[in-house]
Copies of this chain bind each other. A is one copy, B any other.
């Protein structure tokens, strides 16, 4: 975004079509997945993501910072969410022994049970909405396209 921004390069027809489709997916796919989780498990997608990441970590435990990154959220957002999950009995916090600044979040037995019972329905929703309508080649293309976009965002944010 330089200083000389005279002639914007507008989107051509193909790009405009693709942008409308992508913009729609960006709004409606998260909404659909959130709705499924809310309806079937009373949990937001972000809350699910947090517990799912913990469930796959060694000792079902992670540092708050790492957990925030894995769940694609800010540390502040995670802190609020872990408060709620803690009140529901699904996660506990303990300070790290070797570095007092660090907080370790751990999935409880109840939290584990919650994920075990929630995951199949959620995976089924992801499969139904995303993968069933695509060919194998499209799945691989989607992977490549997604990675390219993410790499570009990463690059932009490191400046």
Residues of chain A at the chain B interface (Cβ within 8 Å): 1, 5, 8-11, 14-15, 17-19, 21-30, 32, 40, 72-73, 119-121, 123-134, 136, 138-153, 156-157
Judged by DSSP, the binding face of A is helix
Quick one: copies of this chain in the complex?
Answer: 2
Query: Is B153 a contact partner of A22 (Cβ separation < 8 A)?
Result: no
Q: Which of B15, B40, B147, B151 contacts A139 (CB 8 A)?
A: B15
- Of all chain B residues, which has the CB nearest A6? B120
Check if A138 sits within 8 Å of B128, measured CB to CB. Answer: no
**Nearest Cβ in chain B — how far from A3, in angstroms?**
12
Measured in the bound complex, the distance between the Cα atoms of B152 and A24 in whole Å is 12
Chain B residues with Cβ under 8 A from A145's Cβ? 21, 134, 138, 141-142, 145
28 intermolecular pairs with C-beta atoms under 8 Å apart: A5-B121, A8-B119, A9-B123, A11-B123, A11-B127, A14-B136, A14-B143, A15-B127, A15-B131, A17-B143, A18-B130, A18-B140, A19-B130, A21-B150, A25-B146, A25-B150, A27-B72, A27-B73, A28-B150, A28-B153, A32-B153, A32-B156, A129-B152, A133-B149, A133-B151, A133-B152, A138-B145, A138-B148
Asked if A124 meets B5 with Cβ closer than 8 Å, knowing A129-B152, A145-B141, the reply is yes
